[in-house]
Amino acid sequence: MTRNKYFIKQLSIFSENKSGRLAAVAKVFEESKVNIHAFSIAEANSFGVVRAIVDKPELAFDAFSKQNYALQYTDVLGIKMNDVPGGLYHVANLLGSIGINIEYAYAFRTGTFGTLIVKVSSPEDAVEKILAAGLELVPATDYNF
């Protein structure tokens, strides 16, 4: 079993923080018929990074590249959470106790459970530790087809 089956390909797209830019980014997904599962924006005053988990990352990457966007794949992990009060606490507490440092995170819900997307500095180690701690990771194939 390879650990990287849990590496979800997130698209990280550089975008200026001004009106109309989100629509422009969304339009590229729409035109390339790529579906977005999860999406977040991190911004630092005048610019930001749009983070998206999509069904067809390669297709989206090509579409953005053709339009001269600066973008990059980032490997992130998806940790399953129970969709009940305390679900995030349970996961976060365990991650803390096994010494996983999260660079950034965002969450969304699919079906009956929640997913916490985390970016960690060394995903290979993290996969091992997370599984050993009894948490469940979402395989990348659940999102990236």
Partner 1 sequence: MFWNEKMETLRGKELQELQLKRLKETVARTQNIGFYQKMFAEAGIRPEDIKTLDDLSKIPFTKKADLRGGYPFGFLAVPMSRINRIHTTSGTTGKPTVVAYTKNDLNSWSELIARNLTMVGLREGDMFQNASNYSLFTGGLGFHYGAERIGCAVVPAGVGNTKRQIEMIQDFGVNAIHCTPSYAMHLTEVAEDMHANLDSLRIGVFGAEAWSENMRRDLENRLNIKAYDSYGMSELFGPGVAFECPEQDGLHIWHDCYIVEIIDPKTGEVLPAGEKGEMVVTPLVKEAMPLLRYRTGDITMLMEDDCPCGRGQKIARLFGRSDDMLTVRGINVFPSQIEHVLKNIPEVGDQFMVYIDRVNHLDEMTIDVEINKHLFSGELSDLARLQNKIGKALHETLTLRANVQLVEPGSLPRFEGKAKRVVDRRTI
Dist. CA 17–CA 50, nearest whole Å: 10
Binding mask 106-145 for partner 1 (x = CB under 8 A): ----------------------------------------
What is the identity of the amino acid at 87? G
The interface with partner 1 within residues 67-86 (CB under 8 A) comprises 68-74
Size of the site for partner 1 (CB under 8 A): 19
* Stretch in the footprint of partner 1 (CB under 8 A) among 63-71, 80-88, 90-98, 124-132: 63-71
**Closer CB to partner 1, 16 or 83, in the complex:** 16
Is residue 57 part of the contact set for partner 1 (CB under 8 A)?
no
Q: Is 132 exposed, middle or buried (0-12, 13-18, 19+ CB in 10 A)?
A: exposed
Distance in angstroms (rounded) separating the CA atoms of residues 91 and 114: 11
Q: Is the CB of 2 or the CB of 45 nearer to partner 1?
A: 45
